[in-house]
Amino acid sequence: MISVDEFVSLLRDELALPVTAEDLGRALDAVDSWDSVHLLALCTILERETGRTLPFAEVLEAPSLAAVYRLATAS
């Protein structure tokens, strides 16, 4: 389990995305620099950090970074 703050740090430090907590709810299209390669890198990091497998079909449908976070931390 990682916190929202840790999630934001990870986006900033490992993916070099200039985001803040306020950006998590934005549509992914509206997130500065975001693209499909970031999606892959993010999922890979989240699997490493949480030790859980992410459901890729659902990740593809995720409308925002917050939604990806929820998928990664859902119990």
Footprint of other proteins on this chain (CB under 8 A)? 14-16, 35-41, 43-45, 47-48, 53-54, 56, 59-60
The 10 Å Cβ neighbour count of residue 65 is: 25
Find the shortest distance in angstroms from Cβ 56 to other proteins. 4
Give helix 4-13 / helix 65-73 axis angle, nearest 10°: 120
| 71-60-33 Cα angle (round to 5) | 95
Looking at the Cβ atoms of 22 and 37, the one nearer to other proteins is 37
| CB closer to other proteins out of 26 and 38 | 38
* In the complex, minimum distance from the CB of residue 35 to other proteins, in angstroms, rounded to a whole number: 6
User: Radius of gyration over alpha carbons of the chain, in Å?
Assistant: 11
Instruction: Supply the minimum distance, in Å, between the C-beta of residue 62 and other proteins.
Output: 13
